[in-house]
Structure 1
Amino acid sequence: MGAATLLRDVFGFDAFRPGQQDIVEAVVDGRNTLAIMPTGGGKSLCFQLPALVRDGVTVVISPLIALMRDQVRGLREAGVEAGALTSGNTDEETDAVWRGLEAGTLKLLYMAPERLSSSGTINMLRRAGVSMIAVDEAHCVSQWGHDFRPDYLRIGELRATLDVPLAAFTATADAETQEEIIRKLFDGEKPATFLYGFDRPNIHLAFQVKDGPRAQILNFASARKGQSGIVYCGTRAKTETLAGALREVGHSACYYHGGMDAEERRDVERRFQQEDGLIVVATVAFGMGIDKPDIRWVAHADLPKSIEAYYQEIGRAGRDGDPAETLTLFGPDDIRYRRQQIDEGIAPPERRAADHGRLNALLGLAEALRCRRVNLLRYFGE
């Protein structure tokens, strides 16, 4: 079945979004591919659809269990044989994945990069008839990026071992990060590269100097009461106290951070997907892979780490293309804290210098006297 037919019959779209068709054609043709697309641009379709066109199994390396489970659920509802091997699986789910692999019916197999540390996983993938590797959130391979995951470094070895094409996708990668992705995932060989822009014209960018930050966040949320939103905080404790303050003034709000147990986190993710008007107050542990199109606003109660992190986090708003708003608070304590984080880290001097440069770029965006969108796009070379 051709890509256009699958696009209509399986995914329910009459036409590709801008940029998708060129990427899909390259991936279907078996070319190594790097695609940088804005959040909400439809990255997942660019590897899911080719997986159905091509023979064999496509292995999807993805960083978060919630993201994998969400995509597998959507594919299965569309009639696609897909499964995930994660620590959150039930025995029945894992057995179904193994049966699908043995029968040759499974088309997409999702797994976290940490699984690649097991020789058993590599041997299983050798036997499974893998025809392609897709890497979601590929910026995680880069030590220059904002979300480094050491296990992503094993993906390049997997590609060489299986000798299959690889397609890598991300929404945020400056020139340095792109170079490292190519070096680590493609062994320095230039892939077919697609850069479809960083501009999200429906998102309004606002920064304010901290002046009673709790009141600033409460006022921002109250002006948007009944709309789904995310508030990012720099500490776990702050997520809990700020969620409580929002509830006290009548908002539906909950908190999310890495110190919660897995079931509590899954419950928040479920609620956010299903409830209208819920506010989640979270550390950056929340959001990657959350496919909720109608998030109307994102606020930062503390300064993010870098422009890449900021762009990734605000990009969760307005994925449906309708207007969305952001607010980022910052103050001298934030700047001191971020500088201290860099200086006390174990990174080599050149990395620390680069991280200071990234922080300076974010401060330049915060204090910009001209259109912030122009500054943001210039940072990404657009």
Structure 2
Amino acid sequence: MSVRLFLCLFFCSGGSTVSNGQLTQIAQGSDVSLNCLSSSGQARWEVPPLSTPMRVNLGQTEYLLIKDFQQQSEGQYVCNNKTTKLELKCASTNDETVLFRASQGDSLFLFCKGLSSSSLMATWSWRPHHSDHSTHLGQNSALFGNRLSLSLSNKDNDFSLTISPTAWNDSGRYECQLKPKTRTVFELVVVRGTLTGLLLKLKFCLSEHLNLLNFLSVSSTVHTDRQQLTEGDNVTLQCEVSHELQSVRLYWINTETQQNFSNPLQLRNVMMGQRNWACAAFHSSKLKALIPLTLNISQTLSATARSPTPTPQYLPTDESKRTNSPEDLRTTPSSQEVRQQDFILLCVCTGFFFILTVLIGAACWRKRIKERMESSTRVREVTYAEVKFKQRSETPDVTSPECGLPLNSNNAPAEEKDVIYASVKSM
């Protein structure tokens, strides 16, 4: 065995835990989390020239996340006389690593390599978090389509696996068995951010004042990057993970102000300055993921003078509780603004139910008019009766003008007339 191979095996025998002032071996494609505490609140990591880590300042701590560790990330990282030297690992060791990736746009590289003068054999298996059964992975596995790249016969004994891009269902436990005795495990947790609620003003009004949330459902869940918003809208940011791990905390960070909020986060009267957000996942007080999300906010246009920009508000939901770490900063609205908003909401609710009452009254009035028209055109039932009888009339006596004697005697015949009696009765 050569001296170079012996030295590489010596360094690779150590763990991948970051320690102060010591050389630490990091597997290619893994993530490194560093944090530096400063009593003055001005902690600042000094990084190698080619390294481009993600930075987050929360309170008096600056968190550093080196995602997908590569050769350009090697070097010394210094903060307040705290020095950490990072280098690429030469070969796989018997360790376990937890990796966080975004559900869209991220890629995954799982390092599996052996150091030997002879050819080695390796097998890959994957057990999804929602299943108890493992699946053996081969070249271009059908479960991943063309997103998976893997070579099980390599002259360099490099059997690393690549998945690009990652998806929500890729979550699970990946294991590389490098024969005869090296076993490396990677646990993948997928993170995604969603935006819930398109008409939260009405929802808030119904739920707070009238308790009729089940009467009207106006919420929806969409990917944040695809949602178009307007200034003054109310939205809720929700950060989700594919698998719940112990000691995992999720926060929303405004990357412009460096403020952090508990998850989920409700934004009322969203503003143009609230475009850029990041879902931060902390595992055992270490920053493990920082998934950026951008809100597409458009300005409200008016032909007249533009109204003043509404004040942003951050409202925690019932599940949002203040935690000890990291420090939670909030923007609290004034009591006058709260009263004004309550008055506006009450007006909206009153107008809504006024319109509803008018519509119901119009429907009842129309129904009544229709019934009257139907009754006027209804066919009437008529009963007609006809009675015919004869009437006998006697001729009156005519007295002679000369002597006062009647001209006709009582023996003269009487006249008979036909009389018709009719009666009409309508129903």
TM-score by length of 1: 0.27
Q: Which structure ranks higher in relative contact order (CA pairs < 8 Å, sequence separation ≥ 6)? A: 1
The structure carrying a bigger helix percent of its residues is 1
